[in-house]
Amino acid sequence: MLYYLFDWLDRAYNVPGAGVFQYISFRAACCFISSLLIMLLCGKPFIRWIGNRLHMNDVVRTELCLEGANQKSKTPTMGGLLIIAAIVVPTLLFTKLDNIYILIMLGTTLWLGVIGFMDDYIKKKVSKKGLAGRYKVIGQVVLGLTVGLLVVFHPEISTTKTTIPFVKNNEFDYVWLVSWMGSWAENWVWLVYVIVAIFVVTAVSNAANLTDGIDGLASGVGATVGGALAILAWLSGNIVMANYLNIAYLPNIGELTMFISSFIGALLGFLWFNSHPAQIFMGDTGSLTIGGIIAVFALLIHKELLLPLLCGIYLLEDFSVIHQTTFCKIYRKRHHLKPNEVVPVEKRPYKMTPLHHHFQKTGQAEEKVVQRFIIIAVLLAIVSIVTLKLR
């Protein structure tokens, strides 16, 4: 909104300084500062409101049996509502709202925010199980389907290409996967891309949700991943840098730099209150949204194949759950355990999953686990950016 106001003041009245809003770097800084200020100024009032008025306190896993677990049950949750507000408000103020990429990201944020809100609300007010998993997956599939179709068929985007890391001349067209269809390949490549989009959105959104288990982990890792995505988006939207790095130039994609700057500012602001000991948790309202934003953003800038590296922490968390579940199922069948018998902890690959709980169970302090995971996330983010030249 402010972009259009200052653009009009610059063109109509030549107001000194109004033209600065044409610069992506200036508006990105405004988005970051605005989202950070929203979090810092509204954080304490929001915590009091969500905890004292709505009584939205967290439900802590009782099997953790760790020091401080009982105190955490009194901590307000659903902080994702404030994160979403801190992302959406600066985006509305400082971006071009007719940009299709911005509209897709705003839709993604609000859609997954609603799904996460329903899960948190049901978990607290109706049943501790929350929203049935199948409904969350359906919501993620709908989002992936919508984004995939928009990327393929919207006239301003209309592509089925992506980028392969560590490969020279690294543009890859998904049409190659259906090249065996001959002349039909161009007609059906959209289906392949949509399937990829659904998988990416569902996998990353759920992985981010699993990562949200201890104070500051989800927000710290999310902000780190967001920083790398911001650099990748800016480079892809700058024709000079895109040519220099020999990467695909994406017209109008630079506008996403403002959105992701708001995302980073919101998560860092949330970390102010969420660092150990947490004053508030983000809940599924925040974690599902964070994962969905990262997934859709990567699809829009054609970097979805970079996600296994960039989101390595998410991948490890996800893998630990899958590995543990699969192992326990096989163990139960092999040893003919009764339905009420559990697999002995010493026989399991991990003492507890997701992975961060395993390290807690080994006696490592919660703060140390978070700091080490964030350090690893920073290293992975740096390597992900370096892949632009390591080919």
Beta bridge partners of 173: 161
Compute the average pLDDT of residues 190-201.
96
Three-class secondary structure assignment of the chain: CHHHHHHHHHHHHCCCCHHHHHCHHHHHHHHHHHHHHHHHHHHHHHHHHHHHHCCCECCCCHHHCCCCHHHHCCCECCCHHHHHHHHHHHHHHHCCCCCHHHHHHHHHHHHHHHHHHHHHHHHHHCCCCCCCHHHHHHHHHHHHHHHHHHHHHCCCCCCCEEECCCCCCCEEEHHHHHHHHHHHHHHHHHHHHHHHHHHHHHHHHHHHHHHCCCCCHHHHHHHHHHHHHHHHHHHHHCHHHHHHHCCCCCCCHHHHHHHHHHHHHHHHHHHHHHCCCCCCCCHHHHHHHHHHHHHHHHHHCCCHHHHHHHCHHHHHHHHHHHHHHHHHHHHHHHCCCCCCCCCCHHHCCCCCCCHHHHHHHCCCCHHHHHHHHHHHHHHHHHHHHHCCCCC
Tell me what percent of the residues of the chain surpass a pLDDT of 70. 95
Residue whose structure tokens are 């970097």 = 303
Tell me what percent of the residues of the chain surpass a pLDDT of 90. 71
Give the pLDDT confidence score for residue 390 in this predicted structure: 81
Query: At residue 340, does pLDDT exceed 60?
Result: yes
Give the pLDDT confidence score for residue 73 in this predicted structure: 62
pLDDT in tens, 57-115: 665 555 555 555 555 667 888 999 999 999 999 999 999 999 999 999 999 999 999 99
Compute the average pLDDT of residues 21-34.
94
pLDDT in tens, 152-165: 999 999 999 999 98
Query: At residue 308, does pLDDT exceed 60?
Result: yes
Lowest mean pLDDT among 65-74, 139-148, 197-206, 293-302: 65-74
pLDDT in tens, 233-252: 999 999 999 888 888 889 99
